[in-house]
Amino acid sequence: MTRMHYTRDNMAGLLRSHDINPTHQRIEIAHALFSRQEHLSADQVMAIVNTRHSETSKATVYNTLKLFLEKGLVREVIVDPSKVFFDPNTSPHHHLYEVDSGKLSDIDAEHVQISGLPPLPDNMVTEGIDLIVRVRRKA
Amino acid sequence: MTRMHYTRDNMAGLLRSHDINPTHQRIEIAHALFSRQEHLSADQVMAIVNTRHSETSKATVYNTLKLFLEKGLVREVIVDPSKVFFDPNTSPHHHLYEVDSGKLSDIDAEHVQISGLPPLPDNMVTEGIDLIVRVRRKA
DNA sequence: TCCGGATATTAGACAAAGTCCAGATTGCCG
DNA sequence: CGGCAATCTGGACTTTGTCTAATATCCGGA
């Protein structure tokens, strides 16, 4: 996979390719997530987008992140009871969570094997498997 | 493992064995969790404990659940962004989460193998590995 | 028994994350 | 330009959880 530049223009294309109407606010929010390639909470996204002067309302940030989620542009990572993180990396991967610092990083799923899971009932489909390794700094 | 009765008297013993002073409120909260053997949120615990007449304050419910957590009597399950579940089953196991209904059930860890996780940095220790299988009812 | 300190509990104010709504803006198409 | 649909907005609201200062309970010793 070639390294690409996450310019605002490219964001517009990315949004369109996911069937999302690329408005100014949506482009800024996508840019915040993708240019950093980091896990961000809604709060953090709002702070980034509104650094210079307030441009985007809280409601829009939440609506947009939910929209991105539905359209498969980002993933939701639930590791901290107090806030949800949004992950611009949608390729299969797991997470490493440092409980004291709150730092969250990716674990490539490529070499991780999970076996022995019991079969699901017929009327159920797997939506996703989340593997979270919680670590702590040694005393 | 023999089936046991989760009487309030047995709860007192259980608390003592975990180095917890068995007060009336703590016994009631432990009883709510262990007699049901279910995943309960703080809200649900409070509702159960206060069914007949209000007996236990919100602060005490939260304090007590946090205490149980520290003492290793229960586990915390973070699957729903809006609330934390407390799990009286502390033996190694994973979770199955039905996203539409919010129903949460256990997956015994005995036959599940997870391999290929990358090594941790030297100064880190694993606190726990959470595996959550998210399922949805077929359309 | 009574006292004193340590431990627990409480009500209610507070904080943070997220939702909701009704009105204002924007952008597009004829 | 006029109108419609989609989007955005401020702000009120809800929910989950925390904090604090005051009160209650428990227990050991004199």
What ipTM was reported for this prediction?
Answer: 0.90
Is residue B33 scored above 90 in pLDDT? Answer: yes
Q: Average pLDDT for residues A133-139, to the nearest whole number?
A: 89
Pick the closest to residue A61 from A72, A78, A49 (CA basis). A49
Pick the closest to residue B39 from B118, B126, B105, B128 (CA basis). B105
Q: Could you tell me the pLDDT band of residue B43, with boundaries at 50, 70 and 90?
A: very high
- Give nearest nucleotide to B78 (CA–C1'): D16
Which amino acid makes up residue A25?
A: Q
Identify whether the C-beta of residue B120 lies closer than 8 Å to the C-beta of residue B110. no
Identify whether the C-beta of residue A134 lies closer than 8 Å to the C-beta of residue B120. no
**Which domains are seen in chain A, by residue range?**
8-86 (1.10.10.10)
Residue with tokens 């989620």: A69
Map residue B7 onto helix, strand or coil: coil
CA of B14 to C1' of C27 (A): 66
The CA angle A100-A105-A108, to the nearest 5 degrees, is 140
Flag if A78 and B78 touch (Cβ within 8 Å): yes
Q: Could you tell me the pLDDT band of residue B1, with boundaries at 50, 70 and 90?
A: low
Mean pLDDT of chain A: 93
Residue A3's pLDDT is: 62
Is residue B54 scored above 90 in pLDDT? Answer: no
The structure tokens listed for B72 are 């290793």
Residue A72's pLDDT is: 96
Flag if B135 and A123 touch (Cβ within 8 Å): no
Tens-digit pLDDT profile for residues B55-67 = 899 999 999 999 9
CA of A88 to C1' of C27 (A): 28
- Give nearest nucleotide to B82 (CA–C1'): D16
Which residues of chain A lie closer than 8 angstroms to B79, CB-CB?
A: 78
Q: Average pLDDT for residues A117-131, to the nearest whole number?
A: 93
- Indicate the helix (H) or strand (E) that contains A44: helix A42-49
The structure tokens listed for B131 are 């595996």
Which amino acid makes up residue A90?
A: T
Flag if A99 and B127 touch (Cβ within 8 Å): yes
The answer, for B82 touching chain A at a CB cutoff of 8 Å, is: no
d(CA A105, CA B59): 34
Of B83, B124, B131, the CB nearest to A131: B131
Map residue A130 onto helix, strand or coil: strand
CA of A2 to C1' of D18 (A): 47
Is residue B69 scored above 80 in pLDDT? Answer: yes
Q: Quick one: CA dihedral B109, B110, B114, B118, positive or negative? A: positive
Residue A16's pLDDT is: 96
Pick the closest to residue A103 from A130, A128, A136, A131 (CA basis). A136
Tens-digit pLDDT profile for residues A16-42 = 999 999 999 999 999 999 999 999 999
Identify whether the C-beta of residue B19 lies closer than 8 Å to the C-beta of residue B71. yes
Which residues of chain A lie closer than 8 angstroms to B93, CB-CB?
A: none
Comparing B4-8, B33-37, B70-74, B106-110, the range with the smallest average pLDDT is B4-8
| Beta bridge partners of residue A125, listed in sequence order | B136
- The nucleotides of chain D lying under 7 Å from a protein CB are 6-12, 15-20, 26
The structure tokens listed for B14 are 């259980």
Judged on CB neighbours under 10 Å (0-12, 13-18, 19+), A39 is buried
Which amino acid makes up residue B48?
A: I
The answer, for B69 touching chain A at a CB cutoff of 8 Å, is: no
